[in-house]
Structure 1
């Protein structure tokens, strides 16, 4: 491209003025008109210019369809925003990237990905529900969202060529499922950044904002979650990096200690998320949103999010068939939260070599989705108390926080549905989510 291309970002890094070429690149990266700039490399330069308060010029490489665009970008502060000028724009074919190392596929990661220096996906495992994402920009798979401080950790990590964690995102290929991204930079033999390798794990949907009637307990729980999540995310990332031997060889017992630290920290992080959820759903004014959903589709998405965990436990998940639909009424994210909890429990308590089935059916004014496992089952006297707060069938067995089933049933009933269990010792467990038919 021989002529300069211009654009302007406002204080929120939204592309409010743009030439056609930049608008097209923004759209191909998954951006919306007047939305936050979707090309992370341009956002990186813009944020740096705004933070330093001076004009910055540098070369960047961005994914663009099947190729990549080499850009020379000048970003200059302009009031509360940033003005961009691209004075050189060259289209070229991407360099090949090495395959993902198998030792990075850790048991606690529900999705793994790798991207090149242009932030184009070079690997994703397990395969996403929408084919063709590999080779596309990261922003085609994930919508990046600001964290609690308003920053984009992935963008800042690119600028400083360092690891990152706690990047809120939505998985476009799973209908906007909330995730947290973390990643580690990859360098070539000359020390040049060649991309990132990272994980994506489910993120609890944000609870409704605290209102004046919510009470001090709600505000405390929400604030507690905000304060604890960032350091716990960092502990998990560093422990994972140590356990994966990213920096070189490590004694096996030390790697084991790192894995134990990461597992314990994830357990604590899950408890924090459950406490925040608990404070929200127990408010007298709590009302989930309701709309038409496809319960069979959500079941398939929950199964996909937990595929790696199941694989590492040698458990097979059998979701509804691809062409199966089950129309219901409920809140998309809350129903997905319930199903992820049910499938996660089923995988956790299933023996190696067994299967977890997800089956749906319409029953008049209701629809039902059953998650069945081949675990040790639940005694009749325990089937009531497992839905109470902080109750588990076997408190001595490694597992969840004792809040998941309580929260799931409260959510189901808040959507005019229910959550039931049918089980017997030695015969597995069948949890059934019931919702109004759509």
Structure 2
């Protein structure tokens, strides 16, 4: 059987502590009673209200149950009390709670005063507040655990929510209801509170409803001493508004984090052996350890080129992952764009020479002060020059020149004398993994289809842009725009 707890005036009940942990209960009159109205426990606000209504201890709970909840079901109703000869209007919500004693039922009552006088009530609409309370009757639930963490009481609303009777949940841990989620600090508030014997709040729990939907609830609980000298918990749960969308966002973020961690780990595991393969292949290609047959020298060159291609692909995938997750770091500073153009030209010089491409025009005659991330800007310029060299036939030309820009910006155009890009294909070149049909002089398997996509997004992150102007048979002109330096 239930045993009445200490409800003496001035005694701080578990409901007082719980109200401090859960703002939703702040200012409310909260009490616990049997299905016949016998009072077990109440907060200080209940005791004060009974005193003001000149009722004996426990009489208010008994009257309310008899008048409003004789059938032991959920109730949301309004009633009036005479307080100091003045009528005061209240709204009460009765939450039926199932317990481990199968034939016993108890109520948790939550009351709020909805107007100070009957006259004021005529001017203050209750519709909005009462509607919110009716929603909370269907969505919120109440729970208790013993010192071992096993559920000893749950509200009927929870049984309806998950589609399981009390007998299937009572005696099981709180996690039988749903999944406890970690907070921003990586801890599970409920588990941390259990270890300390303290109260907790802001514990998120993911619950699967009987209809198969997933909802997010915010739990608050207060530590309650138990007969065995341990510590149990009494708590409430409130649905998180728009929880379906929040859960989907959490899943998306979790997926992004897992992908980023996987790519970061794999890049480290792949880079080390790839660098070794490239190094050995280059040594063989240059016959560092002695002469080789011509075909083996050629094979070694192919191995080194394939290794470099894979390294580039790994770096591109890491960049895409960082861009998609919004976790890319930019080190913004002022720099000379002309100096970066010269640095990029030097990095593609060997490729251009191997195909007899003239890149002497890749130069700016005067300094061009820009603001952005120097390393990322160099990455964009190298990508543009590499593509220009790649798609220009032998004996062709590649160059760079200042371009017209809007006030507050500077721009540079990288051009080539290649076959150009048809108007219908120009948007595609900036998409992920898009590769246009290559001329016969371009080696198959070159590139990943990510370089221009990454370059444009990096430019936009630096508050700039990357555009294309081209006509079939007349080469391509890619223009990088960046903010001018202060």
TM-score normalised by structure 2 residue count: 0.45
Give the structure with the higher percent helix: 2
> Which protein has greater RCO, CA pairs closer than 8 Å, 6+ apart?
1
